[in-house]
Amino acid sequence: MSQTPIQPETSNNAEKVTPVRSLIGAVISGSMATALYFLTANIANNLASKPLPTGSTTTINIAVAVRTLVLGVVALGTFVFALVAFGLLALTVQMLWQRSK
């Protein structure tokens, strides 16, 4: 039984990657990373200024875990957007370098 590979559909008006589009994406991602950075700093300051509950060790452990989880998720989002911005900026430089040759 002969199987033919499935080919992905291609559209005739597929948008082409250009240095300008890549740079615009880098600016958008960089601004999101900057906003998330300030949000991360604000959350860290807010959590540091509020004391932990002093009820029991279980309550303290849960509070520490929730604080760590919240700050970690926001910091991860910041890192992802910053990395995407850096990658798109590097792609822009690479495309401009290839065009100049």
Rg (CA), the chain: 23
Burial (CB count within 10 angstroms: exposed 0-12, middle 13-18, buried 19+), residue 40: buried
Would you state the pLDDT for residue 66? 93
CA distance 45 to 49: 6
pLDDT digits over 7-22, tens only? 666 555 557 888 999 9
Are 85 and 30 a contacting pair, CB within 8 Å? yes
Does this model's pTM top 0.85? My answer is: no
Are 37 and 78 a contacting pair, CB within 8 Å? yes
